[in-house]
A and B are shown apart, each in its own frame.
Chain A
Amino acid sequence: MKRLRFFSVPYLAWMLIFIAVPTLILIMLAFSDYSLYYPSRFEITWVNFQIFSQSYMSKAIIYSFGLSIITTLICFVIGYPVAYYLANLPEKTRKIWLALLIVPLWANMLLRIFAWEKIFTPLSIFTDLSGLSLDLLGTNTGIVIGMVGMYLPFMIFPLFSVLERMDYSLVEAAKDLGATDLNVFFKVIFPMSLGGIVSGVIMTMLPAMTSFVLPARIGLGRINLIGNIIESKFMKEVMGSGGLSINVGSLISLMLMLFSVISFVIITRFDKEGETLI
């Protein structure tokens, strides 16, 4: 087995170069005034934190949290019954449903976003087919519908995997001890699927919170999330009109990264075997 270790070197090196090193660079940029155009200047400073006092930034944070929380709630309400239903299906039918859930995920995310975009315009193929005219571009509703469509499977999978593994005899045991169907759900099924719920919530909320193509396209740039701010900060630098915008972008990126790490820790706390992580 020692020889196998050798073959892990390329990717480990890749992770070091393209994940660890850039993270260090982000940290360095976020807490300094170092600029590509004045490489001689380097001073550790909190000046980049001023971004959080800007109203457009706080608005983006509020929108990111707000929309992602609403999206997650909707995904949970829709996803839990679906996951429960799937987990109790006979093997064969279940596979068909799972395929219907997974296969669309393999389609490119951008394509799916563009598809939503088309559907949300007043005159679309959707209008031709259904007679309904949607005008949801640039609205919160549009973004939430898009996000739910995009991230619902990430809610369903972890829930499905805990519910599927749940021992049905526990339900019988609860009934035997006098539990009604409602009792069974709230005292056995729900608490036992807690690990899946935590994973599902985080795996839906995090990408929703950090998404930027979807709000950019469907929100028409009118609704900016944290991701869009980061993009604009880095794009400014690329355009050469930087100031410290790349430093600010780094700081916001680090903030999102921190969320991710905290989420990861929470998931591993609730789900020690990692059975809900895919």
Chain B
Amino acid sequence: MGKKLIELKNISKSFGDLVVLDHFNFYINENEFITLLGPSGCGKTTCLRLIGGFETPDDGEIIFDGKVINDLEPNQREINTCFQKYALFPHLNVFDNIAFGLKLKKLPKTEIVDRVHQTLKLVKLDGFQDRHISTLSGGQQQRVAIARAIVNRPKVLLLDEPLGALDLKLRQEMQYELKEMQRTLGITFVYVTHDQEEALTMSDTIVIMNEGKILQIGTPEDIYNEPKSRFVANFIGESNIFEGIMIEDYLVKFVDREFKCVDKGFHLNEAVDVVIRPEDFDFVPPSKAKIKGIVDSLTFKGVHYEINVMVDGREYTIHTTKYREVGDRVGLSVEPESIHVMRRQRS
């Protein structure tokens, strides 16, 4: 991973009274696949549009390759965008759509033809150059949109929920293809999505946002395993979240029971949130378990069962490959390293 390519320093942006981005800070490394992840309206698209040059920040600096680019028009930035609804030119065919940027640069004709054909091959649309945009399927249009952007060999490609309109199978295929492309082309990808699974599979770095603020930046593993807040834990995957008290280092108390854990550095008896992932619970005989309950419901999910267990009037969600009948008495155990303790959010 190389040097910092893009840096957003203290960026604020409001539309009317609505604060969309609030003193936003982060940087993007060269050749990185970075994903802005958050619920709708969290400001992720605005952030992308600021980098692309379609919006100007009210405050702060956008730095690209060491230069402040706040006032550069989109056409002056070495950045290309793959738009949410593709925004392909309906009056042009596939070839002319992809060649649009190259023709503007007045490249020699043979080079344009070569590069367009190379790119068509890359996005697996060989032989589609004469097709009209309206005759393409959603997935094909999406790939034309990507081709139109990467044919210009930008330093950065911005992607705004590019897979949102595709069905599950195609989406998974495209996730893989996009990641592959990013690796082979060595282009920095800035990807916007609200789909946590997409973010986890594709990214080198994930930026979790909510209400115009960054909640956590980290690798997918970091964010999944060590969420810094209740919101992140909830947003990334399903979670069981408990309110608890940190009794001392390596000892946490929740649901009126004490558990060993691997966290330290909290105040004595500090109020905390405890996250336990559904797949981190294990069934043990009730006699040996600290947590005992009754199976409330069971859903087959393909690879695993999702089992809800009622414990003292509270539902625990568990993902397991072990089968239990509804009504069974079960005991639950959890390893100390699977207990994630977070500072309580002051809200």
Q: Which A residues contact B (CB, under 8 angstroms)?
A: 167, 169-170, 172-180, 183, 187-188, 191-192, 194
Contacts and interface: CB of A to CB of B under 8 A. Distances in A.
13 contacts: A169-B87, A172-B81, A172-B87, A173-B148, A176-B52, A177-B148, A177-B149, A178-B105, A179-B75, A180-B75, A183-B104, A187-B104, A192-B90
B138 interface: no
B91 A175 contact: no
B85 interface: yes
B115 to A, nearest CB: 13
B83 interface: yes
B54 interface: yes
A177 B104 contact: yes
B87 A178 contact: no
A187 to B, nearest CB: 8
A195 B152 CA distance: 30
Given A169-B83, A183-B104, A176 B89 contact: no
A173 B81 contact: yes
A175 B87 contact: no
The 3 closest A-B pairs by CB, nearest first: A177-B101, A173-B87, A169-B87
A178 B104 contact: yes
B100 interface: yes
Contact of B74 (A170, A176, A187): A176
The secondary structure that dominates the A interface is: helix
Contact of A188 (B53, B89, B149): B89
Interface in B142-162: 148-149, 152
Contacts of A175: 53-54, 73-75
A147 to B, nearest CB: 31
B101 A178 contact: yes
A188 B89 CA distance: 8
A194 B92 CA distance: 13
A238 to B, nearest CB: 51
A179 B99 CA distance: 12
B54 A172 contact: yes
Interface in B113-152: 148-149, 152
Nearest to A168: B87
Residue of B85, B101, B105 ringed by the most chain A CB atoms within 10 A: B101
Contact of B91 (A172, A177, A180, A191): A191
Given A173-B87, A178-B101, 12 more contacts: A169-B83, A173-B83, A174-B89, A176-B52, A176-B53, A176-B74, A176-B79, A176-B81, A176-B149, A178-B152, A179-B100, A188-B89
Nearest to B148: A177
B83 A172 contact: yes
A18 B149 CA distance: 58
B321 to A, nearest CB: 46
B80 interface: yes
A183 B104 CA distance: 8
Contacts of A180: 75
Contacts of A173: 81, 83, 87-89, 148
Residue of A170, A172, A178, A180 ringed by the most chain B CB atoms within 10 A: A178
Interface residues of B, number: 23
A177 B75 CA distance: 6
A175 to B, nearest CB: 4
A232 to B, nearest CB: 46
Contacts of A188: 89
Contacts of B105: 178
B100 to A, nearest CB: 5
B282 to A, nearest CB: 50
Contacts of A177: 75, 80, 100-101, 104, 148-149, 152
A173 B53 CA distance: 11
A199 B50 CA distance: 39
B75 A178 contact: yes
A139 B101 CA distance: 50
Interface string B68-86: 0000011100011101010
Given A175-B73, A177-B152, A178-B152, A170 B100 contact: no
B96 to A, nearest CB: 10
B152 A167 contact: no
Contacts of B75: 175-180
Contacts of B148: 173, 177
Contacts of B83: 169, 172-173
Contacts of B79: 176
A106 to B, nearest CB: 35
Interface in B93-113: 100-101, 104-105
A90 to B, nearest CB: 13
Contacts of A178: 75, 101, 104-105, 152
Nearest to A194: B91
Interface in B43-69: 52-54
A188 B100 CA distance: 10
A192 B133 CA distance: 14
Contacts of B74: 172, 175-176
Nearest to B100: A177
Contacts of B52: 176
B95 to A, nearest CB: 14
A161 to B, nearest CB: 16
Contacts of A172: 54, 74, 81, 83, 87
Contacts of B54: 172, 175-176
B91 A176 contact: no
Nearest to A174: B100
Nearest to A188: B89
A176 B80 contact: yes
A177 to B, nearest CB: 4
A93 to B, nearest CB: 18
Contacts of B81: 172-173, 176
